[in-house]
Chain A
Amino acid sequence: MDSFIVVSLIKTVMVFAVLLTTLAYLQWVERKVIAHIQVRPGPYVVGPHGLLQPLADVVKLLTKEDVRPPFVHKALYLAAPFMAMTLALMSICVIPFGPVIRVGGVSTWMQLTDLNIGVLFVLAISSMGVYGVAFAGWASNNKYALLGGLRSSAQMISYELPMSIAIASPLLLSNTLSLRTLVESQAGSFWHWNVLRGPFPQIFAFVIFLISAFAETNRIPFDLPEAENELVAGYHTEYSSMKFASFFMAEYSNMITVSSMAVLLFLGGWMAPWPVRYGSSIVPTVVFAFAGLIALYHGVHPARRRERYSLPATGIVFLAIAAIFLLPIVQTWLLPLFWFCAKVGAILFAFIWIRGTLPRFRYDQLMGFTWKFLFPAAILNLLVTGFLVAWVS
């Protein structure tokens, strides 16, 4: 019992430390990727390649003046960012990152807690998440903020339907609501993942889920609640300093949760794309060694003077990571973690990529798209899956 509490505490601290660091650096990655899509360097001044930019941003946001406009609904105005942040961080506690890990005789799952209704828990939390945005818009006593809040609540209700129905069809294949069991049912190769698995590959459900996920997290092309050219900044117009930052962090945290859910439901969670006996265990080593060699090569032929030292150092770190992946002691838990992070990272990259590519929807297009196309498509997919699963079994 005591060891359970200690292990749980350690896991909680680790998960949240990693999550919050990822949040900060996801923003850096986003700015960099968008910048390169638009053929400009992006953050470049603070640290090498702007790597210390998130730190500078945190200091800036913490020390900024916290303005509270008059005539706001005080309690709700203060509670809204808190609500958005709390609800966004809550769902991470049922997300499994990997299999059992053993440290000094204590074995534990790489997951804070496993609920037998894990999928429903995430759905419930994400359906509550709209209140932070809606109340922020209402309590600000600002018509642009109010419009943002209204749009957000209408959008969330509409897109939750296709999302839930898209989630239901892989659950039919895996026959469980626990996220851990869900991943275990997709073990094997990539054609055992729910996105490609028989009797009916869930490729449509995956696409519908991703589209609804963009709307649920208020990302471009569905970021109408904060459409800056019509609503100033939407629901967080009147927020400054850390309160503004909490909305920002909530959005990125929701992005991570939704990407993890996509990976767990459709892409086999922490499972490798093909079995170890065909050499999936050396993929991380090859990837990191290749990256290290490229960095070393560019370090030998530097384009700028300061890269003569920074690039070889990076290359050596990458080669060391590649060597660590070969150690049999850490392989049992580091490999699943690698695959999980790689898949989540790929989906997060798609989020950013689409932000750099697509323009924003018009509001009637947004609503027409979900009710007239996405929702019927999701129901059709569920029907076909249900019939085929019943027919096969």
Chain B
Amino acid sequence: MDVILFLVFALFAVACAINVVVQTHPIASAISLIGVMASLAVLYLLLGAEFIAAAQVIVYAGAIMVLFVFVIMLLNAGAESKSGRSLVAQALGVPSLVALLGILAFFVQRLFPRESATHFGGFTGGTAKAVGKALFTTYLLPFEATSILILIAIVGAIVLAYKEMD
């Protein structure tokens, strides 16, 4: 059952991800991206990380993508036209993709040997309590550093927006 669900949602995520790139209309791409986020949430849920799954939907599918859609609708962006692909891209596209995936697979295999394979339901540290504890003890420094980084980004965005207004 878990494997079937995993396969269904993993395939859905990949199909949506390809669709994001292939679609010419920004809204269609945004909807595909929402599909990717939602199916990723299901994958997290299958792995036992229920808090991350809920946060994924609330933050990515519910907030960030709403902003994306908002901006696309506000700018009233129309469909993009497909440009003709260059000869180099046509010739080297598929081989280099295969090579990249091969290298990735190789390194994943080397870094995570067979013994540490993930089992569905085997991981129980995904509750809100466990995540909170980890964030505020083991990973306190990276967590705080990230939040300061985001704060700097927000301040920077406001400064840039003000400059343009003047």
Chain A residues packing against B (C-beta within 8 Å): 73, 76, 115-117, 120-121, 123-124, 127-128, 130-131, 134-135, 137-138, 146, 149-150, 153-154, 156-157, 160, 164, 177
- The reply to whether B58 and A124 form a contact with Cβ atoms under 8 Å apart is yes
Do residues A124 and B69 form an inter-chain contact, with CB atoms below 8 A? no
A150 engages B73 (CB within 8 Å): yes
Of the residues A121, A138, A164, contact of B27 by C-beta under 8 Å: A138
**List of B residues within 8 angstroms of A177 by Cβ:** 128
CB contacts (< 8 Å) of B13 on chain A: these are none
Contact of A121 with B69 at beta-carbon distance under 8 Å, contacts A127-B62, A128-B61 already known:
no
CB-nearest residue of chain A to B53: A117
A123 B54 Cβ-Cβ under 8 A: yes
Residues of A within 8 A of B69 (CB): 131, 134-135, 138, 153
Partner pick for B66 among A116, A117, A124, A156, CB 8 A cutoff: A156
In the complex, residue of chain B having the shortest beta-carbon distance to the beta carbon of A153: B70
Which residues of B are found within 8 Å of A123, using beta-carbon distances?
Answer: 54, 58
The interface residues of chain A lying within 8 Å CB-to-CB of B61 are 124, 127-128
Partner of A131, one of B55, B66, B76: B66
Kindly state the separation between the CA atoms of A121 and B128 in the bound complex, as whole angstroms: 13
* Residue of A127, A134, A146, A150 contacting most chain B CB atoms (<10 Å): A127
Interface residues of B in 52-96 (CB under 8 A from A): 53-55, 57-58, 61-63, 66-67, 69-70, 73-74, 76
Known contacts A134-B66, A153-B73; 12 further A-B pairs (Cβ under 8 A): A116-B127, A120-B54, A120-B55, A123-B54, A124-B58, A127-B57, A127-B63, A127-B66, A138-B73, A150-B74, A153-B69, A157-B63
Question: Of all chain B residues, which has the CB nearest A75?
Answer: B28
Q: In the bound complex, how far is the Cα of B56 from the Cα of A121, in angstroms?
A: 11
| Residues of A with C-beta under 8 A to B67 | 157
Contact check, B50 vs A150: say whether CB atoms are below 8 A apart.
Answer: no
Residues of A within 8 A of B12 (CB): none
Contacts of B43 in A (CB 8 A): none
Q: How distant is B121 from chain A, measured CB to nearest CB, in Å?
A: 14
* Residue in B54, B57, B63 whose Cβ sees the most chain A Cβ within 10 Å: B54
A120 touches B66 (CB 8 A): no
Q: How far is the CB of A276 from chain B (nearest CB, A)?
A: 33
CA gap between A115 and B53 in the complex, in Å: 13
Residue B34 at the chain A interface, CB threshold 8 Å: yes
Lowest 3 CB-CB distances: which A-B pairs, in order?
A127-B62, A120-B54, A124-B57
B6 interface residue (CB < 8 Å to A)? no
Please determine whether A146 and B66 come into contact, CB atoms closer than 8 angstroms.
no
- Are B62 and A124 neighbours in the complex by a CB distance under 8 Å? yes
Task: Tell me which residues across on chain B come within 8 A of A131, comparing CB atoms.
Answer: 34, 66, 69
Question: CB-CB contacts of B41-54 with A at 8 A, as 1s and 0s?
Answer: 00000000011011
Q: How distant is B119 from chain A, measured CB to nearest CB, in Å?
A: 20
Does A160 contact B57, Cβ atoms closer than 8 Å? no
CB neighbours (8 Å) of A153 from chain B are 66, 69-70, 73
Q: What is the CA–CA distance of A304 and B62 in the complex, to the nearest angstrom?
A: 54
A-B contact pairs, 5 of them (CB 8 A): A123-B58, A131-B66, A131-B69, A146-B73, A150-B70
In the complex the two chains form, is B51's CB within 8 Å of A120's CB? yes
Q: Please measure, in the bound complex, the distance between the C-alpha atom of A45 and the C-alpha atom of B27, giving whole angstroms.
A: 46
Using CB atoms, name the residue of chain A closest to B41: A124
Q: Which residue of A lies closest to B65 (CB)?
A: A131
Distance of A146 Cα from B27 Cα, bound (Å): 13
B34 and A149 form a contact (CB under 8 A): no
- Chain A neighbourhood of B76, CB < 8 A: 146
Q: Which of chain A's residues has its CB closest to B76's CB? A: A146
State how many angstroms separate the Cβ of B27 from the closest Cβ of chain A: 7
Q: Known contacts being A116-B127, A160-B63, is A134 close to B54, with CB within 8 Å?
A: no
A121: chain B residues at CB < 8 Å are 54
| B27 A117 Cβ-Cβ under 8 A | no
Given known A76-B27, A138-B27, contact A130–B66 (CB-CB < 8 A):
yes
Closest residue on chain A to residue B59 by CB atoms: A127
Q: Provided the pairs A124-B62, A128-B62 are in contact, do residues A117 and B54 lie with their beta carbons within 8 angstroms?
A: yes
Residue of A nearest to B27 (CB): A138
